[in-house]
């Protein structure tokens, strides 16, 4: 067999790791070199990709098809506790053993939740838009008496500026309680007159601009149509201490858990990907900022890495 007069030729090609994550949005011709068409059991980070670790059973004997919420209770004076919300039941799953049923007869397990401290104690506050708001004080579960609004219509809760804020289902209203209160009269703010794209209010979060909680923090609201409203101030009952900063139009959110805290950033889970909200709002209001890839995140707590069901 005749040999090539030019000899063998080879060329080394460096293929970058898919650190941008799985891209299921763009056409292949539009993808970057660090986008992955398929990414099974690998987790991207700044320097490459890591193989996803295996799994082990933590809590067993849970009655229901799936866990819809994971909620941590943490206070300065007691060990943290972990609760799992399933359809109809909340289990305590702190220990790696059989789960312990703590409250039953509930409508669903899609709880939005936050920790909140008052002079009377530390509370885990939950709402799901079907059952009345629930509080856990480290020992027992109670239904706080919230007046002015039907408690079972509240779908989202957020702690902002020493107050609890609740979003009412199928409206553009947010309700807030008195400072450092877990019950009592709720006051409404109706965003319907300033929301030009309709829809309903979906979620609320606190956006800090300096990496820590302070008086310059923004209250961030998002509607089902993708309108993002920013307010600043401490007392929403006074025009002197509460003001609208701006209204921005972005892509629609995905579910009620569409805000993710990532360090000092507040990330927005939208129909076009995960958008770092500060960069998105500073670039424009058309929703064209490049999403960042977040495939997994650690649950707020110290138990394991997981992902909550998006509801």
Chain-centroid distance, C-alpha 70: 12
Q: Is the pLDDT assigned to residue 192 strictly greater than 60?
A: yes
Identify whether residues 68 and 97 lie together within a single domain.
yes
Query: Is 199 inside a domain boundary?
Result: yes
Q: Quick: pLDDT tens for 33-83.
A: 999 999 999 999 888 899 988 888 899 889 877 899 999 999 998 899 999
Model confidence, pTM? 0.80
**3 state DSSP class of 30:** helix
Identify whether residues 81 and 186 lie together within a single domain.
yes
Query: Is 42 inside a domain boundary?
Result: no
Identify whether residues 150 and 205 lie together within a single domain.
no
The rounded percent of the chain whose pLDDT value lies above 90 is: 69
The rounded distance, in Å, linking the Cα atoms of 251 and 59 is 37
Between 134 and 5, the higher pLDDT residue = 134
Task: Tell me how many domains the chain contains.
Answer: 2
Strands of the sheet containing 141-142, edge to edge, are 112-118, 121-127, 134-136, 141-142
Q: Quick: pLDDT tens for 77-132.
A: 889 999 999 999 999 999 999 999 999 999 999 999 999 999 999 999 999 999 99
Between 272 and 115, the higher pLDDT residue = 115
Domain boundary among 148, 166, 190: 190
Confidence of residue 12 (pLDDT cuts 50, 70, 90): confident
Q: Is the pLDDT assigned to residue 304 strictly greater than 50?
A: no
Query: Is 264 inside a domain boundary?
Result: yes
Q: Which domain holds residue 96?
A: 62-190
Q: Quick: pLDDT tens for 202-245.
A: 999 999 866 555 557 899 999 999 999 999 999 999 999 999 99
Residue 48, CA atoms < 13 Å, CB-side half-sphere: 4
């Amino acid at each position: 067999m005749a040999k090539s007069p030019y000899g063998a030729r080879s060329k080394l090609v460096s293929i970058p790791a898919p650190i941008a994550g799985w891209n299921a949005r763009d056409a292949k011709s539009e993808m970057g070199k660090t986008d992955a068409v398929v990414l099974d059991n690998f987790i991207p980070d700044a320097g490459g990709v890591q193989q996803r670790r295996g799994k082990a059973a933590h809590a067993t004997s849970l009655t229901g098809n799936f866990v819809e919420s994971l909620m941590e209770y943490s206070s300065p004076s007691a060990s943290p506790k972990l609760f799992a919300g399933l359809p109809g039941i909340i289990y305590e799953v702190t220990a790696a053993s059989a789960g312990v049923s703590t409250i039953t007869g509930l409508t669903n397990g899609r709880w939005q939740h936050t920790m909140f401290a008052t002079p009377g104690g530390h509370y885990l506050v939950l709402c799901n838009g079907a059952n009345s708001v629930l509080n856990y004080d480290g020992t027992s579960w109670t239904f706080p008496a919230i007046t002015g609004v039907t408690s079972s219509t509240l779908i989202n809760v957020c702690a902002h500026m020493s107050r609890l804020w609740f979003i009412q289902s199928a409206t553009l209203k947010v309700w807030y309680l008195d400072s450092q209160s877990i019950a009592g009269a709720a006051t409404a703010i109706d965003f319907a007159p300033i929301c030009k794209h309709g829809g309903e209010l979906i979620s609320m979060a606190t956006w800090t601009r300096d990496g820590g909680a302070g008086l310059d923090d923004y209250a961030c609201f998002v509607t089902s149509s993708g309108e993002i409203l920013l307010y600043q101030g401490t007392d929403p009952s006074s025009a002197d201490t509460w003001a609208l900063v701006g209204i921005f139009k972005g892509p629609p959110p995905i579910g009620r858990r569409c805000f993710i805290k990532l360090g000092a950033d507040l990330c927005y889970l939208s129909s076009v990907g995960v958008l770092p909200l500060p960069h998105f709002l500073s670039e424009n209001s058309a929703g064209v900022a490049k999403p960042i890839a977040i495939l997994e995140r650690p649950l707020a707590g110290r138990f394991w890495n997981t992902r909550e069901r998006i509801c």
